Structure 1
């Protein structure tokens, strides 16, 4: 068993019946966990600060968008991940965080018309680029360096892969709260208390599966109201997490009520470096 699986596997064996534990461990995925409290390794990017963009590329958004984070692909453990990240270059993440309009407009996964409020810009290695000054009307977040290491991640219990693995947990005769994988003690033992920034892996949902909200936005917003709708489940399963940036006091970032920002992408678009096709979502408590 790879080291990134051991912690979550131990929790599963502690709380779940053996067969359920084996099934659940099979759903674990590796991610590049990004932390602000380890200066021993190479710098993998930054929260906040100001972006370095290719010459000729305008600052994104007509709001404008706020720069959230940059990630150096070469500093990530890409060979251990299960998504096709670029081997080099920089990913720059932007989001309309409410500074410009005093939180009047929101960027929501369920609302396709709001997706212009978040962007990912890929800067290839060797591209001619310059550091940009933050536009008038917004202020940059403090620049905080990030380090990266491989971590294990688990799906939210409402994620399509978890639903498929544990169909009995969603049956009328059992119900999620009465199944071992839905038990409060099990889920409580899994969650970390430190900020959860990452590239790849499963998203840490603050509410229910973020992928369902993405699917709702792609397929038509409130048209799909049931998480068990086959079309919604199929669309949600098409998306993988590119990155999530958590609330983090070290960079003075607080998304709503201690929420998390998510950028999703389809695997084919990721392999083609089509970062203009990401889909954004966010959740808070």
Structure 2
């Protein structure tokens, strides 16, 4: 929902919440690596666009029946502030993110979390630091995005008050994904949070900045095949079992526009992340 330093967010919370509630809320912040366009002498932690460096034996990711995916971003794990980020990333190697962006079919086929048949339309690959790689040109019909180098800056991230983790602290049992009767859901506090920094941005770890409802709920609905209602505790439990791996906002500098100025999100279960099972990451996207 927003991000910033712990002190700045605590100060904001104290303007709208009681001291006790403010400290509870601050305790729910998660550290994340915000990825900003690099300039000058900034250390580069990754890039949007360009061409991926893939292991020689690896094929370009493909959605069977639709075509090759577009390359979105690469992240150099060794250049991230790993000790401070809240997820268990490898300390070296590269994460590569691919997505079927509609170039080949003018946007006809959509990659949707709730559509299992479309899950192959988004992929995250991990390339170990000691693997031999070769930069690959894009497949026919797919144009690469302009290269935009990214630098990483550590910040604290805040989730929406109706995020399951936040709701469980301030209003356990309140309807999932809805505002409830507590000052953390007051319009004044929400406006202050959005006004503090409402940019979705690019990010590794931390709380996702969802454009709509919390992306964890979308993923939970998808893996439960949409068969569980929002008032069923199984949905909340499932949503709590996913963490943000990466989010990539629309970015003018890279010529990236996800729907109506939306964002792409990859989430993963902590146990899969610990075992480096990146093929089990789940994807969704949201726009306004």
259 and 218 in structure 1: CA distance in 2 versus 1, 3 angstrom threshold: same
Partner of 2:44: 43
Q: Distance in 1 between matches of 2:252 and 2:198?
A: 13
1:100 matched to 2:101: no
Q: CA deviation at 1:7?
A: 2.0
195 and 233 in structure 1: CA distance in 2 versus 1, 3 angstrom threshold: closer
Secondary structure of the 1:78 match is coil
Query: CA RMSD of the aligned region, Å?
Result: 1.7
Q: Any conservation in 1 of the 2:200–2:263 contact (CA below 8 Å)?
A: no
Q: CA deviation at 1:207?
A: 0.6
Partner residue of 1:204 out of 199, 206, 209:
209
Report the TM-score, using the length of structure 1 for normalisation: 0.92
Secondary structure of the 1:77 match is coil
Secondary structure of the 2:71 match is strand
Partner of 2:232: 229
Q: CA deviation at 1:32?
A: 0.8
How many positions carry a matched residue from both structures? 278
Report the TM-score, using the length of structure 2 for normalisation: 0.92
Q: Any conservation in 2 of the 1:260–1:282 contact (CA below 8 Å)?
A: yes
Bigger helix fraction: 1
1:132 matched to 2:136: yes
Q: Distance in 2 between matches of 1:107 and 1:282?
A: 8
1:242 matched to 2:245: yes
For 1:1-285, list aligned pairs within 5 A. 4-62=5-63, 63-167=67-171, 170=174, 176=179, 178-191=181-194, 192-194=197-199, 196-221=201-226, 223-226=227-230, 228-285=231-288
Structure 2's unaligned 5+ residue stretches are none
Structure 1's unaligned 5+ residue stretches are none
Secondary structure of the 2:5 match is helix
Q: Distance in 1 between matches of 2:114 and 2:216?
A: 10
Q: CA deviation at 1:20?
A: 1.7
Q: Which deviates the most, 139-148 or 99-108?
A: 99-108
Q: Distance in 2 between matches of 1:21 and 1:12?
A: 5
Q: Distance in 2 between matches of 1:151 and 1:187?
A: 19
Q: Any conservation in 1 of the 2:205–2:244 contact (CA below 8 Å)?
A: yes
